[in-house]
Structure 1
Amino acid sequence: MATSLISSQPVDASPGPSGYFTDTAWRSYSEFPGHNAVVALSKTAPTPLRTGVQWQTPEFDAVPLSRQPLGTQAFGGMVNAAVTMTQNLGNGVGVSAWGRDIYAASSAGYIYAVNALTGHMQWKFRTLNVDMSNPLVAHDTVYAGTGNVAFNFPALMTFAAGQPTVRGGGYGGVYALNAQTGQLRWFHPLSGEQMPTPALYRGTLYFANGNGYFYALSAATGKTQWKLLLGGFDSMSSTTIWTNPLTHQSYAILGTTEPNVLNAINLSTHRLAWTLTVPGITLTGMGDSTPTYSRTANMLIESESVRMESGSNGQTSNFGVYGINPQTGAVVWQDSLGRGSVPAAYRGAVSTSHNGIVYVSDTATSTLFAINAKTGTVLWHSAIPNVLSAGAGRGAPTYADGIIWIATAQNINAFNARTGDLLNSYHVGGRFGIVNPVIAGGTMYIDNSYDWIMAIPLKKIVPQLRL
């Protein structure tokens, strides 16, 4: 129960006049190819949503927000324990907003629908495995993947040898659920994990997963329309759809590991249009990083942890951001943002594009950057406060009301979008994984690794804000 602090052919169909949000569908990771998750309120939305509502809804395995990460000694220190919580208990990525509800997928093995106004849990659905994708919602249907990060021993050995392998232990697949009731519409089983978020485009779900294939599934039936062997596995790189503004041809763009490449797939020919390799990427690299598209600059943005080195102070890594021509896959510009401590597990960061500017965190130095998407010129950079360890700022920032909002460690941080000045660091507790704030009216919706879904008034975070 929430702790409230206030007294069929698939198309991107509207949720109807009673919905709180105007967006007709949540089609991809962070909703848009630019990953700026700002949702407009409908004319009939209740007034409290415009000024900001506050509630905290515990999920199945919720841990008190004041508690330090569990199993610190058992899992090799606080950093690894926190990662283990994200991968096995809480919410690894952000929420989705559609109709009257907020939707979330939890690593505890549940998909949730929570009322956006009150935080009341509408329904929860038990899945077969860990859920770490951003739920998609359209045509009164929720789509979410299941599957974990595990390698079995043979897969681990082939990965260590640099050979193609399958990531994911146990069951994997994609669910389609009734958005109003949580009842199962269909389930498509898959070998390998399904942590990457698909893209819903013209009635088809497009995604790669842990078994080395790229899939096109009918959103209505869950049946495979076609698939393409990529070879490398996709860990958490969600699909970004790019449509050529001149030819109107559409492509699915995503990363894979072993080989560690960025892939562009022609959705008409069902073949690879191009691949891009970036030297020196660490760990699962491209297979973890979700590409961002800046429409203003017509540029793909990829951000990666690269070039690990060992020194007197231990192992360090650099952080690279790349501007890529979406038609050819050629690197147009690249920035080296700084060297610092090696983050645990997921080492990259998801960027956000707004009005030709890319906002992204260097996870090696826990620094937020604003970069011109067309030229790669750094406009400003600002240290992220209150970090617990290397890796702060992995989730996409959100631009709203002239402010960059970003969830890191235990805090929501707000920066002046023009200057980079820190406006406030608002303590929430728990820990934020690769989550992005979703903003609607005067409210931020967010989840975390402690298995909570929350609504926070923007004016609680920045009291001087004028909505």
Structure 2
Amino acid sequence: MNLTLWTHNVNSLGKGWAAAYRQTVGCAVGPSEANGIVFVASNSGPVYAINVYTGKIIFKLPLPSTLSMWMPLVYHGILYLGLGGAMFNYQQGLLNAYGGGHRGQYTGVSGLLALNATTGKPLWFILTKSQAMPTRIIVNNKLVFDDGDGNIYGVNPFNGKVLWKFSYNGSGNMASLDYYNGIVIAGFSEAYPVNTSAIVGVYIKNGSLAWIIKLPFAVTSSVGDAVPGVYNGYLVDGFLGYGSGHGPYLSDIKAREVLLIANASTGKILVLENVTNKTVHPSDTNNGYNPLVINSTIYLPTITGTVEAFNLQGKLLWSSPQISNTVIQSAPLLYKNFLIVTTGPNIVVLNASGGKVINVYHTPFIIRQQPVIVGQTVIETTSTDWVFAIPLVDLLHETEVPPLGVAKLYPNMLLRLHIRVTVKA
């Protein structure tokens, strides 16, 4: 699908069409790379392993489900994937309080699948009642993942044995897990009839509760969507909150973006403040705003189409010019003193010290995911089910992706060719 047709469909069918297409056909998350292999999870069903040097597909494995909102994770030659059907209703997650939600149940197989990362051969599988959407973590030979029923699991990463399980009355969506000093950190969105939105910390040793940050002012799925950041004992998160108005439609509700900074060891809130002066209607798919925290600086995408930088005390350092006509949600990617930001059809490069726009790189795709940099090459997935690789030097200095089939040669670069591969191949 090209950008012109995408825009036409959005204008004629509404933004809900774009979300549905991306969720069932496109790539909802960025790629992963390990040992010279790029792994791409497509919502159309398969997972792809691609040679990072040539773009050649090593293996393609159709999965017994359609949802791929987790980034593939590789550890000791094992590839871990979370499964769950894409055709779900978020209201299922809201019903967790009555013991009944099981978001995604009956729409596909849900759980955690382990594969041989070289061949794609399945090794073991853990079945769950609801989708295992958030990207998992592995620390000290222990794999931890959570699901849409609010369960957090500690697992042996080699044989799939469940070591412990912690349950919270909420729903884990796209909020990838984080970790600090023995504590696993997970974000959960509201259940029904009480707003149980919270960030929960559990001890990785045995799954016992370390602390809970309750966020009853969070809006809809926001806390379960936002991927938190941890840096030097600080926990940082960005999400929609303080909603005004009442449903039944999301267009009847307005909310603000919230920046939260807390102590990662105790869960004590240190900073809680509104970001920008704008209000927006909550999305029907994602209401999280993922921070990048590095070198004592928070880089936060915003609902106004800007990136804002804060220190760890919540003081605003700078705000970029508006670089998108809509919200920006994926965390920026830092390379040296450059911030790489995906904004739909464009990849924008900012100066990390002051937010000045260095370059705007146009693509024929819809890009909402965070890319990865391997050597001197940027690799990214798209909402229309493509994965492409571009030389980093192009991203910093050129204006647009060359026509399909045009290759460039660059010395001393990991990817010698300007490669573009459709994962529909």
TM-score normalised per structure 1: 0.77
Tell me the CA shift for residue 398 of structure 1. 0.8
1:1-400 matches, within 5 Å, as 63-64=1-2, 67-68=5-6, 72=10, 76-77=13-14, 79-129=15-65, 130-148=67-85, 150-151=87-88, 155=92, 158=95, 165-169=101-105, 170-243=108-181, 250-257=182-189, 258=191, 259-295=196-232, 298-309=233-244, 315-338=253-276, 339-344=278-283, 345-362=285-302, 364-373=303-312, 375-387=313-325, 390-391=326-327, 393-400=328-335
> Which residue of the partner structure matches residue 429 of structure 1?
364
Question: Is the 2:332–2:341 contact (alpha carbons within 8 Å) kept by the matching residues of 1?
Answer: yes
Q: Distance in 2 between matches of 1:92 and 1:348?
A: 14
Letter matched to residue 222 of structure 1: G
* Stretches of structure 1 lacking an aligned partner (at least 5 in a row): 1-62, 244-249
Question: Relative to structure 1, is the Cα distance of residues 192 and 67 closer, same or farther in structure 2, using a 3 angstrom cutoff?
Answer: same
Letter matched to residue 349 of structure 2: A
Aligned pair count reads: 386
Residues 27-52 of structure 1 show CA distances to partners (whole Å, capped at 9, x for unaligned) of: xxxxxxxxxxxxxxxxxxxxxxxxxx
Q: Distance in 2 between matches of 1:417 and 1:162?
A: 46
TM-score normalised per structure 2: 0.85
Question: Relative to structure 1, is the Cα distance of residues 163 and 217 closer, same or farther in structure 2, using a 3 angstrom cutoff?
Answer: closer
Tell me the CA shift for residue 87 of structure 1. 0.8
Q: Distance in 2 between matches of 1:279 and 1:384?
A: 30
Tell me the CA shift for residue 65 of structure 1. 5.1
Residues 142-188 of structure 1 show CA distances to partners (whole Å, capped at 9, x for unaligned) of: 111011355469837736x8987321233101111111111111122
Question: Is the 2:137–2:178 contact (alpha carbons within 8 Å) kept by the matching residues of 1?
Answer: yes
* Stretches of structure 2 lacking an aligned partner (at least 5 in a row): 399-412, 414-425
Residues 300-322 of structure 1 show CA distances to partners (whole Å, capped at 9, x for unaligned) of: 001111123359x9753210111
> Which residue of the partner structure matches residue 457 of structure 1?
391
2:354 corresponds to which of 410, 415, 419 = 419
Question: Is the 1:166–1:212 contact (alpha carbons within 8 Å) kept by the matching residues of 2?
Answer: no
Residues 277-298 of structure 1 show CA distances to partners (whole Å, capped at 9, x for unaligned) of: 2242111121111211012xx2
Q: Secondary structure at the match of 2:367?
A: coil
User: Percent identity among equivalent residues?
Assistant: 27
Question: Relative to structure 1, is the Cα distance of residues 334 and 460 closer, same or farther in structure 2, using a 3 angstrom cutoff?
Answer: same
Q: Distance in 1 between matches of 2:55 and 2:242?
A: 44
Q: Secondary structure at the match of 2:319?
A: strand
Q: Distance in 1 between matches of 2:9 and 2:257?
A: 30
Residues 366-390 of structure 1 show CA distances to partners (whole Å, capped at 9, x for unaligned) of: 12111112x1111101134243xx3
Name the stretch that deviates more: 145-154 or 423-432: 145-154
Q: Distance in 2 between matches of 1:428 and 1:453?
A: 12
Question: Is the 1:69–1:85 contact (alpha carbons within 8 Å) kept by the matching residues of 2?
Answer: no
Question: Relative to structure 1, is the Cα distance of residues 366 and 114 closer, same or farther in structure 2, using a 3 angstrom cutoff?
Answer: same
Q: Secondary structure at the match of 2:6?
A: coil
Question: Is the 1:193–1:209 contact (alpha carbons within 8 Å) kept by the matching residues of 2?
Answer: yes
Question: Relative to structure 1, is the Cα distance of residues 398 and 72 closer, same or farther in structure 2, using a 3 angstrom cutoff?
Answer: closer
Q: Distance in 1 between matches of 2:353 and 2:17?
A: 36
Question: Is the 1:69–1:82 contact (alpha carbons within 8 Å) kept by the matching residues of 2?
Answer: no
Tell me the CA shift for residue 104 of structure 1. 1.4
Question: Is the 1:70–1:85 contact (alpha carbons within 8 Å) kept by the matching residues of 2?
Answer: no
Tell me the CA shift for residue 450 of structure 1. 0.7
Question: Is the 1:144–1:174 contact (alpha carbons within 8 Å) kept by the matching residues of 2?
Answer: yes
Q: Secondary structure at the match of 1:175?
A: strand
Question: Relative to structure 1, is the Cα distance of residues 183 and 196 closer, same or farther in structure 2, using a 3 angstrom cutoff?
Answer: same
Letter matched to residue 208 of structure 2: R
